[in-house]
Each structure stands twice: as C-alpha cells, then as structure tokens.
Amino acid sequence: MQVKLFDTTLRDGAQTEGISFSLEDKIKIAKLLDELGVHYIEGGWPGSNPKDIQFFKAIKKEKLLTAKIVAFSSTRRPGVKVEDDKNIQTLLKAETPAVSIFGKCWDFHVTDALKTTLGENLAMIKETVAYAKQAGKEVIFDAEHFFDGFKANQKYAIECLKAATEGGADLLCLCDTNGGTLPHEVLEIVLDTRRMTTKPLGIHAHNDSECGVGVSLAAVKQGCVQVQGTMNGYGERCGNANLCSIIPTLSLKMGIDCITRENLKRLTEVSRHIAEIANLPQSMHQPFVGRSAFSHKGGIHVSAVVKNPGTYEHIKPEAVGNERRVTVSELSGVSNLMVKAKEYGVDLDKNDKRTKELITVLKQLESEGYSFEEGEASFELLLKRTLGLVQPSFELEDFLIETHKESANAPVVTAHVKIMIKNKVHDATGSGDGPVNAIDTALRKVLERIYPEIKKVKLTDYKVRVLNSEAGTAARVRVIIESADETRTWGTVGVSTNVIEASWLALVDAIEYKLMPEKK
C-alpha cells in the first residue's frame, strides 16, 4: 500500500496565528517539501489574495522533483453559473496540474452558512468538479465538515460525495474541519463510507481535540490513500494534522510507503528549516523532530539507554535525522555524567570521588536555579574546571554600571570593567543600549586585543527567567545566553538575584567556552 502526502502548509498552515509567509517564503517551503518527497503541495487560494496568484506564477519557474502544485477553491457560488464564477476562473488561470475544490457536506452548513438549498449545494459540487475536469485538471474534492455532516445526516453527506463522483472527481478527501471527531469514530465512518462510494478516499484532519494525527492514521488503516496535513502541525485554531508525526509513523510503524527512507532522514532538518522561515520557535517536545524527542534526563533512563537505546526510545533518532541527547540536572546520576563526559572527550571514572563531588555540586547549583539543559557549555566548563582540565582565561576584579537618563532622551548606559589576565590588570569602558550590551562592549575592548579569536563570537539569543516571582524585585533570575561563531552554537547560563551579575556569569562562560581548546 502507498499513501500520497498532500501538504497544505502554504494554505491552511498560513492561517496560523503569528504566521505571515512572504512570496519568497512560500517558494522556499515548496522547494523543501518537494525535496522531501511530498506528492502534492497546496499553494493557496488564488481567488482570495494577490500573493497566492503571484506564487502560482513564480513556482512554474522552479523545476520540482516529485510534487504536483495544487490550487484551492470553493465550489461555485449559489445561483451563479460555474463559467461565470470569478473564483473558478481564477482557479483555472493558476494553471496547476491539480486542483482542490471544497464543498459543504453538512446540511447545517448548507442551510445556515451558505444560505441555500440542499439540492443547489449538490449541483454546485457536481458542476464545479465537472468544469475543472473538462479543463484537464486532476480534481481532489475536499468534503468539508464531512464527519460532522455524516453524524448529523448520513444520507446527505454521502449524496455530496456522489455528486463529486458524478462530476468526475479523482479523489474524495473526507474532512474533519472542526477537529472534533475521535479516531474510533473515524474508523467506523470511513469503513461505512467506503461501502457507499467508488472513488479513492483521503483524510484531512484538524487538531482541536489533539487527535489530528490519530484520526489521520485511523483513516489510513481503513483504506484512505491520501493524507492531508501541514509541517509542524501549523494551521488555524489548534492546527492541522502534523505531517512530521504522520510521515515517520506511516513509514516506520505501519510499513506504508510515503517517502523514501533516505528522505525520511531529512525530516528533522526540513521541519526546523520551515519553523525558521515561519519565524516561530519549533516545540522542543514535538515528537520525532523536536530537540527533546530523544533526550534523556533521569539517571535510571540514561543508565538503560547507554546499555540499549531501545529501552527508552521507540525508534532510532537517526531514522528521522534527529539525535539522542543526554541532559544533566538534579535528576541526574552517575550515568548521565559519564555520558556527558565522554561527549566532551573526558575519561571519567565513576568510582573517582570527584565524580560524586560533581553530582553534588550539580544538584546544588540546580537547586539555586541553574539549568544546564540550555546551558550545556557552562556545564562542560564546570566539569573541566572541577577536574583541573581548564583554567580561567581571565578573572573579574570589578565592574561598574551607570545609567544616565535625561528627560525624554534615551538612557545612556556605560560600563567600566577591570579584569585580571596573566597577573596583569586591564580595564576598559564601553557603552551600549543596555547594561549587558555595555558590559559586553567593555569586556571585548580588553579581550579582543589579547584573544582576537573572540571577534568571531556573536550573541544570538538572550533570555531572562524569573525563578521565584513571589519575591518581587528581590527575585532570583536565570539568564541563558546563546552564542555562535562561524561553525557552532552554544548556550551558557548564569543565576543571581542581580540580573546584571547573572548576565555577567553567562557572558563570561560564553567567552571562556570559545577560548577553551576544541575537542580533537
């Protein structure tokens, strides 16, 4: 059995709150999906906005490997001839090999939303599908609200499918548009529908009940041969069925062809790339492709995974292009520490008293608010400093921060730092948009003369988390700094009741990590 993938990230996914794809974004995403091996890419609704029309013109210049581009539209309007409907004419002018036409399949929607008769709706479906077929298109009929319609008026929902069939539709896609149908209901309804229709079936599920993936897999189990969804589950309200979970489940767990195993190894990369284009953070805990999908924190878990990854992993992470991670925390045991030390190129003896001391220090620091999951560079420094493998490149003597604010003018922030390097005191003054920027500027004035390699280090992210808000302005804060050079990215952490000191601690670790000899 083969299942065809129909991606609607550029249409349904673009309706996500917080997403606004540019034309260039849409082209980039389409090319990524094509390289992944997706069979159909729904580019948008040309009748709804100029950007989608531009996309269909621009995508024709790209040489796609596997995907068919699909244009989307509703059926003709009530009381309007199909050849006179502007939406339908715009749909055909998109010149795509395939079109997706949606029609109402719930009598409630026909009478209350469209404000027309049940008979007229059937005519709208049949005539629109037939018109697109006569134009030489592959036609996918999206049976909107099909599952709700089937439960409310089974006879009419099936009549809608038959109208599309008589019009010549190539596939009938059953839509759970409100996202409220459960997997066991889908199993029953798809089975009943297959007995009453002759065309191949597809599934289009939304995630309002957190069942989008489950509903899609249940429909495939009952014979649906096309699955519609979006990358990272983007979509209106709670999103669409997540293809990043559906694809590996079909391939690795159900033995159903959808993309090649080689392309499957690119899934994590494509998911994260599309998240960057969407300008939304990818959920760390997203199954299969999230950063935490194969992360192990509890000591018992790590101990078992070291012996055999299958003890706590349902698939091999490399099958989807992800990787196993072991994190360190107050839940860590010797196993976590041993694994992390090996990653850092350190031979650590579990019977060495320093190993137990490290665990004690780690747990104490985490109780104070440190988190080394996002600040692994700080943990590597802690480990190597404790074992005497690295020494500080510089030490703080003191720093002074001044903020001067005059009337409506923007505040001017200056920082004076005094640091010790090789038994010699150096000082410098810097200014910036804020205190952390000013400290960074002053620190670099000294260090870049002595350690020119840090010129390549850029601060790429800065996050502050209040740890005990009940303490008000005296609360402890945790600062996470993400830094990068030309080849790698790393995170460092600092904790204090003073946000400036916490920032200083994280900033210093970021620089020290760069100056530390790289692992061979």
For 119, residues 6+ apart whose C-beta sits below 8 A from its C-beta are: none
Provide DSSP, 131-153: HHHHTT-EEEEEEETHHHHHHH-
> In 10 A of CB 61, how many CB atoms?
7
Asked if residue 21 lies in contact with residue 10, where contact means CB atoms within 8 angstroms, the answer is yes
**The whole model's pTM is what?**
0.74
CA–CA distance, 505 with 495 (Å, rounded to integer): 8
Residues in the chain: 520
* pLDDT band, very low/low/confident/very high, at 333 (cuts 50, 70, 90): low
Instruction: Please check the confidence at residue 396 and state whether its pLDDT lies above 50.
Output: yes
Chain centroid to CA 372: how far? 22
Average pLDDT value over all residues in the chain? 91
Give me the pLDDT at residue 301, please.
Answer: 80
CA–CA distance, 337 with 326 (Å, rounded to integer): 9
3-class secondary-structure state, position 159: helix
Q: What angle do CA 15, 21, 22 make, to 5 degrees?
A: 145
Q: How far is CA 253 from CA 218, 249, 313, 321, in A?
A: 13, 5, 13, 16
Q: For residue 494, which phi and psi values (nearest 5 degrees)?
A: -140, 145
Highest mean pLDDT pick, 48-62, 373-387, 464-478: 48-62
* pLDDT band, very low/low/confident/very high, at 265 (cuts 50, 70, 90): very high
Instruction: Please check the confidence at residue 520 and state whether its pLDDT lies above 50.
Output: no
Average pLDDT for 201-220: 98
Give me the pLDDT at residue 303, please.
Answer: 76
47: nearest Cα among 13, 78, 77, 9: 77
Helix, strand counts (H, E) of the chain: 18, 16
CA–CA distance, 468 with 471 (Å, rounded to integer): 6
Strands 458-466 and 477-484: antiparallel
End-to-end CA distance of the chain: 47
Q: Where are the beta strands (DSSP E) in 354-454?
A: 395-404, 412-421, 424-432
Average pLDDT for 342-350: 81
Average pLDDT for 100-127: 97
- Supply 251's token pair: 């391939």
Domains of the chain: 4-259 (3.20.20.70), 295-386 (no CATH), 395-515 (3.30.160.270)
| DSSP-assigned beta bridge partners for residue 143 | 103, 174
Q: Which residue has the tokens 């804020």?
A: 434
Q: What share of the chain in percent tops pLDDT 90?
A: 69
Instruction: Please check the confidence at residue 1 and state whether its pLDDT lies above 90.
Output: no
